[in-house]
A and B are shown apart, each in its own frame.
Chain A
Amino acid sequence: MRKPPAWRGPVLVLVALAAIFAVAPRLYSNESVLFTMMTFMALAQGLNLLYGFTGYLPFGYVGFFGTGAYATSLLVTFTSLPVIAAVLLGGLAAVVVGLILGPLFRLSGPYFSIANLAASQIIYNVVANEALKPITGGPYGIKIEHVYAPTASYVTMLAILLAATALAAYFRRSRFGLGLRAMHQDPISASLAGVDIVRERLIAWLASAAIAGLAGGAYAWNLSVFYPEAVFTLQISVFAIVFALFGGVGTVIGPLLGAALLYAFYAGIGVSAPQYFELLYGLLIVLLVLFLPNGLASLLTRRKVDVL
């Protein structure tokens, strides 16, 4: 039997995703639930680019999301750029923040996560500071409702989700991703084998930051009026982490499935009873770590099914 071409799986996933979210608004009227679901799918996938392939868990991932949201909103407020350009520059702003935070990679595992969390809190405290009220609106939030465009921002978010998924597929199937995973397992052997681990890791980090920044920009566009808390709450990091873990990090479809299933669950019961949801997903995390550390996807990979 001939092996199917390498591009077939990724293309199938991308086409399926695009088709589902293009048709879904006709079948399900609450478009904001669909929009937020795509946001978390994009974030879970973006986080997967770093955590799934390098083992570095960016606990302050929300910092990039908030940076993107605010950069986009400020550009829309103070310049006459088209909104879509502002969203792209929001992604760029997150990449710049990622470059500044590059030295965090001197730290290992959990210290990296904690330092990253501290960094995101610093960004939040600066943006939401009373002293910056004339520029960012401080704790009173920001308004860009004059560009509010639900359909355009929906399409933009879908494009970001597809881009994140394409990147993950590239990481999963390319030599580059192989290098990253080798580094994750044994950095010294990987660098002896010729993997430029500092450079590759930085690329994964910046790609991950860019996805969060872009998603933040599109999210801000869709909300158009929001408080800093809405785009900097630690809950966003937490959701991205749990959703990705649940589906299975290091795969392409894992984070997508995890985010779609758990967010649907959250939209069903979590909004009206958040503490029940918090209790359940806390329990879910504990059980996952103890019994299924590689997520839903590992149920298939254990049976030697080739999961993308």
Chain B
Amino acid sequence: MALLEYALIGGILYGIFFSLVGIGLNLIFGVMRIINLAHGQFIMLGGFGAYLLARGLGLNPLFGIPLAIAGGIVIGYPLYYGVVPRLQKSQDPEMLSFILFFGIAQMIEAVAVFAFGADQRSLPQDALGSGNIGVLGQEFPDSWWVACLVSVLAILGLYLYFSRTRLGFATRAIMADRDEARATGIDVDRVSAIALIIGIALAGIAGVFVPYLIGSVSSSIGDGLTTTSFAIIIIGSLGNPLGTVVGGLVFGIGTMLMQTYYSSWSNLAPYALLLAIVLVRPSGLLGKAVRRA
């Protein structure tokens, strides 16, 4: 029982954090119908940002969060106006964006290798608290709880953005129908650019905690994180950012159960979940993904 409790509680913590990992990808997809295949690389950049602050300047890694937001603006704004309108005019924006962002992912990865080498880097273990907090007798490191708390706050913030602000309303209008939103006078490009910035910033914020939850950050973790994020948002609901939380929890608990009971096969968990879900329920969980012929 203790093992099961450990797996379940750990899975919930891990899952809430992974909701944050996936949510930016889902937001960008929902608003722009483009596939940000560089998502994992943006997370990786967030991790390296926190690493620089912590090891280089001796700051608390939590300062990586404002850095990630700044990074989101600096990268997201030119990226939007540089490629997105052009992509959306093409014949098949989803497929072309998929390939284009793959190219961007490769460039980010190459730059990260120049800047940081190929080694794995970790953050100071006690920067987010050195103790453990227990629930039902199962203890988890403080850093997990901090990551979980930040994830909840970020997701809550996104929820409030959608439900309480004019920009949030406009964003939801664009998600529902881009052309009609434009017809009602919404500045689609500006709102979408902001969504892209938020999506990248959320990825960067998740990256700050990746060294704690996964153990380290290195220039090659991006592709794996992208695939995992895809699994999560497909399990949740594509195009609906808040549905990502469901996906995150399923993924987190599933992974923790696998690690507890079949650890040698646990690497398979995200891929097997992804494949199982897309094959078993292609229509229910991801309406858009079903081909029409």
- List residues of A whose CB falls within 8 A of some B CB: 55, 57, 103-111, 113-115, 117-119, 121-122, 125-126, 129-131, 187-188, 191, 197, 234, 238, 241, 245, 275-276, 278-279, 281-286, 288-290, 293
Instruction: Please determine whether A106 and B274 come into contact, CB atoms closer than 8 angstroms.
Output: no
Is residue B290 within 8 Å, beta carbon to beta carbon, of the partner chain?
yes
Which residues from chain A contact B105 at a C-beta distance below 8 Å?
282
Instruction: Please determine whether B107 and A107 come into contact, CB atoms closer than 8 angstroms.
Output: no
Which residues from chain A contact B86 at a C-beta distance below 8 Å?
290
- CB-contact partner of B268 in A110, A122, A191, A241, under 8 A: A122
Instruction: Please determine whether B292 and A188 come into contact, CB atoms closer than 8 angstroms.
Output: yes
A-B contact pairs, 17 of them (CB 8 A): A103-B279, A106-B291, A108-B289, A110-B95, A111-B286, A115-B274, A115-B275, A118-B275, A121-B271, A122-B272, A191-B293, A275-B114, A279-B110, A282-B105, A285-B106, A289-B96, A290-B83
Which residues from chain B contact A114 at a C-beta distance below 8 Å?
227, 230, 234, 274
Which residues from chain A contact B223 at a C-beta distance below 8 Å?
234
A281 to B106, CA, bound (A): 8
Most buried by A among B102, B113, B234, B279: B102
Instruction: Please determine whether B279 and A285 come into contact, CB atoms closer than 8 angstroms.
Output: no
Instruction: Please determine whether A107 and B111 come into contact, CB atoms closer than 8 angstroms.
Output: no
Which residues from chain A contact B268 at a C-beta distance below 8 Å?
121-122, 125-126
Those 3 A-B pairs whose CB atoms lie nearest each other, nearest first: A285-B103, A282-B106, A187-B293
Instruction: Please determine whether B103 and A284 come into contact, CB atoms closer than 8 angstroms.
Output: yes
Least Cβ distance of A227 to chain B in Å? 16
How big is the B interface, by class? 35 or more
Least Cβ distance of A250 to chain B in Å? 13
Chain B: interface secondary structure?
helix
Which residues from chain A contact B100 at a C-beta distance below 8 Å?
285-286, 289-290
Which residues from chain B contact A129 at a C-beta distance below 8 Å?
264-265
- CB-contact partner of B95 in A57, A105, A188, A285, under 8 A: A57
Instruction: Please determine whether B275 and A57 come into contact, CB atoms closer than 8 angstroms.
Output: no
Instruction: Please determine whether A105 and B291 come into contact, CB atoms closer than 8 angstroms.
Output: yes
With A121-B227, A187-B291, A278-B109: A57-B98 Cβ-Cβ less than 8 Å: yes
A195 to B289, CA, bound (A): 23
- CB-contact partner of B231 in A105, A118, A197, under 8 A: A118
Instruction: Please determine whether B103 and A286 come into contact, CB atoms closer than 8 angstroms.
Output: yes
- CB-contact partner of B227 in A104, A117, A188, under 8 A: A117
Closest to B268 in A: A125
Instruction: Please determine whether A107 and B271 come into contact, CB atoms closer than 8 angstroms.
Output: no
Least Cβ distance of A27 to chain B in Å? 33
Closest to A106 in B: B282
Is residue B138 within 8 Å, beta carbon to beta carbon, of the partner chain?
no
Chain A: interface secondary structure?
helix
A261 to B8, CA, bound (A): 52
Least Cβ distance of B250 to chain A in Å? 15
Instruction: Please determine whether B279 and A109 come into contact, CB atoms closer than 8 angstroms.
Output: no
Instruction: Please determine whether A118 and B264 come into contact, CB atoms closer than 8 angstroms.
Output: no
Instruction: Please determine whether B110 and A110 come into contact, CB atoms closer than 8 angstroms.
Output: no
With A188-B292, A279-B106: A110-B98 Cβ-Cβ less than 8 Å: yes
Instruction: Please determine whether B107 and A110 come into contact, CB atoms closer than 8 angstroms.
Output: no
Instruction: Please determine whether B265 and A107 come into contact, CB atoms closer than 8 angstroms.
Output: no
Closest to B293 in A: A187
- CB-contact partner of A106 in B87, B94, B110, B279, under 8 A: B279
Is residue B184 within 8 Å, beta carbon to beta carbon, of the partner chain?
no
A148 to B157, CA, bound (A): 61
With A275-B113, A282-B105, A286-B103: A122-B291 Cβ-Cβ less than 8 Å: no
Is residue B104 within 8 Å, beta carbon to beta carbon, of the partner chain?
yes
Is residue B99 within 8 Å, beta carbon to beta carbon, of the partner chain?
yes
Least Cβ distance of A185 to chain B in Å? 9
A64 to B265, CA, bound (A): 21
Known: A234-B223, A283-B103, A289-B103. 10 other contacts (CB 8 A): A108-B290, A110-B98, A114-B227, A187-B292, A191-B293, A275-B113, A278-B109, A282-B106, A285-B103, A286-B104
Which residues from chain A contact B286 at a C-beta distance below 8 Å?
111
Closest to B95 in A: A109
Which residues from chain B contact A119 at a C-beta distance below 8 Å?
271, 275
